[in-house]
Amino acid sequence: MSQENVEVVRRVTDVMDAEGFEAALPILLDAAHTDVEWREDPARPGSADYRVVEQVRKVILDRMDTLDFDQQTEDLIDVDDKVAALVRWRGRGKASGAQGELSMAIVWTVREQAITRVQFLIDRAEALAAVGQPE
């Protein structure tokens, strides 16, 4: 268990929860390793994987152009170099106005105080398994 890894993730999630994704973006990019991986859940239509800070920055900005959402982090669970953030997103499509809510998990891998991977999983049980925790 690494309190330092939790603190790296908490710096991002606390700002995201309180001020939104736009405010958290510079904190995330500052904490990210230059070769960071961004992995979206393949169960989500249109998902993809991205690598390196510039690609991650671009995909985040693209998503912010199409979606308004709020995040609430419900729990942070850490094992070794991974921290699973159990989150709830409430969002609205900017063009469509469609609204939705989603409970999911974000598994952050942190090595030497740098975020090396951000993996989104719609299935929270899968996320808990990824950090070696039972449901």
Looking at residue 4, what is its pLDDT? 93
Q: What is the 3-state secondary structure (H, E, C) of the chain?
A: CCHHHHHHHHHHHHHHHHHCHHHHHHHHHHHEEEEEEEECCCCCCCCCEEECHHHHHHHHHHHHHHEEEEEEEEEEEEECCEEEEEEEEEEEECCCCCEEEEEEEEEEEEECCEEEEEEEECCHHHHHHHCCCCC
Looking at residue 27, what is its pLDDT? 96
Over residues 63-119, the pLDDT tens digits come to 889 888 899 999 999 988 999 999 999 989 889 999 999 999 999 999 999 999 999
Over residues 10-40, the pLDDT tens digits come to 999 999 999 998 899 999 999 999 999 999 9
Looking at residue 1, what is its pLDDT? 44
pTM: 0.89
